[in-house]
């Protein structure tokens, strides 16, 4: 019972960080989530002793599971307690690591912190890894991309171990709902009514991480170019998928009708965004069809703990 209560509290704190996590960090609030690897619900300090105790059986192939906005690593859990990490360990001998982070911070900032953590982890894992496999869900996929960008610029060792990366429900081309929120906020700001202004002020309190989802901003300099429009600022994205990595994209849709799939997507992430435009023009990103998988009648949340999605992930890990 204590573990259940603790997990519910962790989920509540994760949701709170997603909404106002940047504000919590600025205030030095104790509810702020620090970016860290998690073992049995607790952060693992960056020391050899802590890593040896938490990850004694880690093998040469390591998967890093990165959750999305307003959640924790619990988002991966299936009803029977298994998750993509434990299944990969059982089926393919890939050791899972789980990241927890403040999803209310700018995506770029979480990318910087993740890159630094992975670089430090290279000297702390009991067995030196030969492959690091990031699996990012929703915003987590953008954090992975931001970290890879930093790793490339700073010539990090860990990036050389990333041979493939898997993105599950990641809004590579941004989230239209957040862009719509910007437009609505602009309209509310122009109405000279105290009540409407209060609603506007409350809406603007949403975190930097939420706002970054609109255009999938991966760098701090991208965030400075933000516009209050519904259209995507740069459909080709200023930070492309790194060519030295094999990328695999999983996207969901509530509909099974091919004509409706691309319109509605999984409610939060349209199919074109979840596939980085591959469903319209696969040649534009150079990904073979086998690297992109659509899951009809699958919601955004379900993508994080779905056996069909796992089957695709396992296949990509065996490729």
Nearest to 233 by CA among 259, 253, 211: 211
pLDDT at 282: 42
CA distance linking residue 107 with residue 117, whole number of Å? 15
Q: What is the pLDDT, as a whole number, of residue 272?
A: 78
Query: pLDDT tens, position by position, for the chain (319 residues)?
Result: 334 447 889 999 999 999 999 999 999 999 999 999 999 999 999 999 999 999 999 999 999 999 999 999 999 999 999 999 999 999 999 999 999 999 999 999 999 999 999 999 999 999 999 999 999 999 999 999 999 999 999 999 999 999 999 999 999 988 888 877 776 666 767 777 677 666 666 666 789 999 999 999 999 999 888 887 777 777 777 788 999 999 999 999 887 766 666 666 776 887 778 887 654 444 445 578 889 999 999 999 999 999 999 999 999 999 7
Measured CA distances, 220 to 27, 49, 71, 108 (Å) = 21, 35, 23, 6
Residues 6 or more apart from 131 whose CB is under 8 A from it?
60, 61, 62, 161, 162, 163
Tell me whether residue 186 is in a domain: no
What pLDDT is recorded for position 281?
A: 47
36 pairs with which residues across the strands? 100
Q: Please check whether residue 28 lies inside any domain of the structure.
A: yes
The three-state secondary structure class of 234 is: coil
| Residue partners of 21: CB distance under 8 A and separation at least 6 | 32, 33, 102, 103, 104, 105, 207, 209
Please state the pTM of the whole predicted model: 0.91
Instruction: Supply the pLDDT for residue 194.
Output: 73
pLDDT of residue 199: 67
- Three-state DSSP at 132 gives strand
In a domain, 56, yes or no: yes
* Residue 274, domain member (yes or no): yes
Asked if the structure places residue 213 within a domain, the reply is no
Within-domain flag for 158: yes
| Count: domains in the chain | 1
Query: What's the CATH code of the domain at 249?
Result: 3.40.50.1820
Domain contains 204: no
Indicate whether 60 belongs to any domain.
Answer: yes
Which range of residues forms the domain containing residue 114? Answer: 2-175+231-318
| Phi-psi map region of 277: left, alpha, beta (phi>0 left; psi -120 to 50 alpha) | left
């Amino acid at each position: 019972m204590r573990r259940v209560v603790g997990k519910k509290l962790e989920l509540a704190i994760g949701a709170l960080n997603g909404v106002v996590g940047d504000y919590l960090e600025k205030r030095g609030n104790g509810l702020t989530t620090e970016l860290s690897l998690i073992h049995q619900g607790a952060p693992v300090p960056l020391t050899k002793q802590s890593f040896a105790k938490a990850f004694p059986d880690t093998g040469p192939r390591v998967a890093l599971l990165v959750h999305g906005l307003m959640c924790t690593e619990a988002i991966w859990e299936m009803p029977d307690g298994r998750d993509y990490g434990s299944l990969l360990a059982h089926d393919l001998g890939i050791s899972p690591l789980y990241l927890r982070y403040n999803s209310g911070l700018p995506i770029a900032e979480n990318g910087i912190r993740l890159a630094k953590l992975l670089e430090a982890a290279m000297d702390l894992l009991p067995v030196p890894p030969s492959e690091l496999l990031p699996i990012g869900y929703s915003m987590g996929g953008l954090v992975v991309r931001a970290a890879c960008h930093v790793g490339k610029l700073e010539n990090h060792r860990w990036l050389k171990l990333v041979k493939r990366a898997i993105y599950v429900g990641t809004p590579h081309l941004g989230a239209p709902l957040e862009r719509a929120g910007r437009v609505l906020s602009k309209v509310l700001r122009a109405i000279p009514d105290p009540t409407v202004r209060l609603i506007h002020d409350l809406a603007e309190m949403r975190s930097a991480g939420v706002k970054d989802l609109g255009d999938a901003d991966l760098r701090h300099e991208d965030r400075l170019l933000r516009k209050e429009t519904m259209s995507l600022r740069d459909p080709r994205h200023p930070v492309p998928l790194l060519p030295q990595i094999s990328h695999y994209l999983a996207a969901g849709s509530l509909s099974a009708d091919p004509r409706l799939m691309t319109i509605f997507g999984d409610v939060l992430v349209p199919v074109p965004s979840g596939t980085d435009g591959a469903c319209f023009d696969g040649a534009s990103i150079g990904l073979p069809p086998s690297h992109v998988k659509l899951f009809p009648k699958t919601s955004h949340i379900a993508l994080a703990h779905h056996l069909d999605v796992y089957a695709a992930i396992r296949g990509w890990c065996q490729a």
